[in-house]
Chains A and B, each alone.
Chain A
Amino acid sequence: MKKTLFDKVWDAHVVDTVENGPQVLYIDKHLIHEVTSPQAFNELEERNIPVFRPQQIAATADHNTPTLEQHLPVKDELSRKQLAQLSENCRKNNITLYELGHKYNGIVHVMAPELGITQPGMTMVCGDSHTSTHGAFGTIAFGIGTSQVAQVFASQCLLLSKPKSLRVTVNGTLKNGVLSKDVILYIISKLGTNSGTGYFCEYAGDVFEKMSMEGRMTVCNMSIEMGARGGMIAPDETTFDYVKGREFAPKNEAFDKKVAYWKTLPTDDGAPFDKEYFFDAEDIEPMVTYGTNPGMGIKISDKIPVNNDPSFKKSLQYMNFEAGKSLIDTPINFVFIGSCTNSRIEDFRVAADYVKGKKKAKNVTAWLVPGSKQVETQIIEEGLKDIFNDAGFELRQPGCSACLAMNDDKIPQNEYCVSTSNRNFEGRQGQGARTILASPLMAAATAIEGKIIDITKQLN
C-alpha cells in the first residue's frame, strides 16, 4: 500500500492498538520545560511511579526566564521557584537539563534541533504546542498537555487515535522579500485557524524543497495555528547536511545507516491524503496580521477585509483597526524579533542585512531575543551584534520572552508590536498589547521606519 511520510513514521511507532480505540504510540524523544512539567512530576511522585526512560528526555528553561542579567538570581519569586523545581526534578530523575546559563540553554524548539536531538523519522513530544517545529526534519512532533507529559514519563508512550492527513503544496519561486514566515502566514490566512484540526499536515512542493532547515522550522512551527497537531516536510539532503556532525547526531557508519533509512521516508507517489490544498508561490507577498488570531492575515498590499461577524468585529476593535484600510504607514513603537518561530541565526542575518548602516526610528523599542545561547554566540561572532547596536536595537539573552510575556518582557497596553512570533491573541504579549505578526525582514524594516512599510517597494 502507498504510504505518506506521516504513515511511515507513525506505523513504525505503534506498540499496540486498543480494540475500537486509540493506539499506543512509542515516543523517541521527550522535551520538557519549567512551565508544563512540574505537575506531571508531582503526579508521578504521588502515585509512586518512576520515570521510565530518563535518557530519552531533554530539559531546558525557556518560558519563564529573564532575558537580561541571566547570571543573577531570577528576581520574580514565583519564576525562581518554578525554575528551581525543574532543576530539582531533573536532578532527582537523572534527566539532562540545559538550565539558565548553560551553553546549550535555549528555547526548547531551537535547542533540540541545533543539538541534533531532533532527527528524521522520530516521534517527539513536548508540553508545548509549537513542538510541531521539529516536523521540519520529517519527524512526527506535536504538543501535549501535562497529563500526557506524565504518561510519557511513566511509559514513554501515548494513547492516540491516528489523525487524518492533509497536504499543502506550494510550487513556484518566491518573490524578493518573501520569507518562510510569509509563506506560512499566507497559508494560514487562506485556510483559517481550524482547517487543520484533527489532521497532520505535510508541506510539499518546490518552495519547501528549496527552503533551508531554519525556514522549514518556521513553517512547521506554525502548523498548530491552523489547528493541525503537527506539520512535516520530507527529509532530503538539506536535512541530512543539517543533522550531520551535531552533538547528538549519529556518527560515521551509524549516520550513513540512518540516512539510508531516512531516504525511505518521503511520501510514496500516489499515496492518498484526506485533504489537499495547492498554492502558487508567485501569489505570496510579505504578510501582516491585523486581528487577534494568526488566520487574520493579509498581504502587505491588501486592505483589511470587511466582515460583519461579531467575533471579527470584536477582534478589530481590540486592535483599533478599521475594515477596508491598509496597514501601511501604521505607526509602530515596538518591534520584537525572537520566539521559537523566528529566533535562529538566519532570522538575525536577514534582519542585520537590512539594518546594516541604518538607524532605528526614535519612537521604536526594538528587542532581539536569540533562540539559544548558541545563536547568541553566533550573532556576536558573525559581527551582527555590532550592526544591531549601531542601529539602536537591543540584543537580549535567549528565551521565549515577549512571545508570551510570561517574564518581564511585556508590550504596554494599547501599543502595537510588530513581532516575529506566532500568536497575535489578545493580551498575548502583555495585557492590552496589540500584536502584528510578520517576518524578521518586515520587523526590521518597521523598526527602521517607525511604521509599517511595503518592503517590496524598497527591494524591487
Chain B
Amino acid sequence: MEKFKTHTSQAIPLNIANVDTDQIIPARFLKATDKKGFGDNVFRDWRFNKAGKAVSNFSLNNPLYSGSILIAGDNFGCGSSREHAAWALVGFGFKVIVSSFFADIFKGNALNNGLLPVQVSEGFLNALFAAIDTDASTLFEVNLEAQTISIKGTNLSESFEIDPYKKTCMINGYDDIDYLLSKKELIEAFELQKPY
C-alpha cells in the first residue's frame, strides 16, 4: 500500500446524500478477477447515459472540476460490501473522500486501499461545497499526521478522527495481513483453548 502523509489538490463536488456502492460501481462491472480497470466505470450510470454518451452536468464530467479529492454528501458508500467501489475510486485517481458520514464497510475498504476517508462536520462540509462553488480551482489540504483538512487561502480548517492503528498503517503503508501474520502463534494457541 502507498504511504500517505499529506495531500493537496483541487476537489470534485458530489453533493448527493446516501451515495451507495451500486452507484460507485454497478454490479455488472464486478465480473473481473483482478483489481484493475474499475476506475473506467466509476459512477458509470451517472457519468454516462444508456447510449454511452457522457452526462455533461454530472460533476465528474464537468471540465470546471478536477483533482484527486472527492467531496460527497452524507452517508457515503452505503450498501454492498464490494471493495470494487474503493478500487474504482482509486482507479479514477481519488486519494481522499470527504463526507459528513461514511458507511462502515466502505470506510474500512477505503482505508485498506490507501484511500483516506475524511469525516467532517455538516457545517464544514457545506463550507467545502461553498468554497468550490465560489472558485472551482480552490485547493484543499489534508494532513493525516495532524488529522486536519483545510481550505487553502482561507483560515478555514477542521480536524478529523481516525483510528490510531489505521493512521499508522496509512502513514507507513502497512496492511493488516502483515500484523495478523505476526500474531500466528497467539492465534494457534487460541485455537487450542477456545472458550466456547
Report the minimum CB–CB distance from A106 to chain B (whole Å).
Answer: 19
Known: A21-B165, A24-B183, A432-B50. A129 touches B81 (CB 8 A): yes
Binds B, one of A140-148, A202-210, A445-453: A140-148
What residues of chain B lie closer than 8 Å to A35, measured between beta carbons?
30-31, 82
Query: How far, in whole Å, are A158 and B175 apart by their CA atoms in the complex?
Result: 12
Nearest residue in A to B23 (C-beta to C-beta)?
A: A426
* A273 contacts chain B at the CB level, 8 A cutoff: no
Nearest residue in B to A314 (C-beta to C-beta)?
A: B16
* A185 contacts chain B at the CB level, 8 A cutoff: no
Nearest residue in B to A120 (C-beta to C-beta)?
A: B196
Interface residues of B in 147-196 (CB under 8 A from A): 163-165, 175-177, 179-181, 183-184, 186-187, 190-191, 194-196
Query: How far, in whole Å, are A143 and B80 apart by their CA atoms in the complex?
Result: 9
B33 pairs with A36, CB closer than 8 A: no
Report the minimum CB–CB distance from A112 to chain B (whole Å).
Answer: 16
Identify A15's interface contact among B102, B104, B177, B190, CB under 8 A.
Answer: B190
A36 pairs with B81, CB closer than 8 A: yes
Query: How far, in whole Å, are A283 and B18 apart by their CA atoms in the complex?
Result: 27
Query: How far, in whole Å, are A76 and B112 apart by their CA atoms in the complex?
Result: 31
A129 pairs with B80, CB closer than 8 A: yes
Interface residues of A in 357-393 (CB under 8 A from B): none
Binds B, one of A91-99, A169-177, A191-199, A340-348: A191-199
Report the minimum CB–CB distance from B122 to chain A (whole Å).
Answer: 13
Annotate A237-252 by CB proximity to B: 1 below 8 A, 0 otherwise.
0000000000000000
* A212 contacts chain B at the CB level, 8 A cutoff: no
Known: A12-B196, A405-B28. A144 touches B104 (CB 8 A): no
Report the minimum CB–CB distance from B85 to chain A (whole Å).
Answer: 9
Known: A24-B186, A129-B81, A227-B104. A151 touches B177 (CB 8 A): yes
Residues of B within 8 A of A (CB): 15-18, 20, 22-23, 26-28, 30-35, 45, 50, 73-75, 78-83, 86, 101-105, 108-109, 112-113, 163-165, 175-177, 179-181, 183-184, 186-187, 190-191, 194-196
Residues of A within 8 A of B (CB): 12-13, 15-16, 18, 20-22, 24, 26, 35-36, 38-39, 42-43, 47, 49, 63-64, 76, 78-79, 81-82, 85, 121, 127-129, 143-148, 150-151, 154-159, 161, 193-194, 197-198, 224, 227, 229, 261, 293, 309-311, 314, 404-406, 413, 423, 425-428, 431-432
| A-B contact list, 21 entries, CB within 8 Å | A24-B183, A35-B30, A36-B82, A49-B181, A81-B33, A144-B81, A145-B82, A145-B105, A145-B112, A156-B187, A157-B183, A159-B176, A194-B103, A229-B104, A293-B18, A311-B17, A311-B73, A405-B28, A406-B28, A423-B79, A427-B26
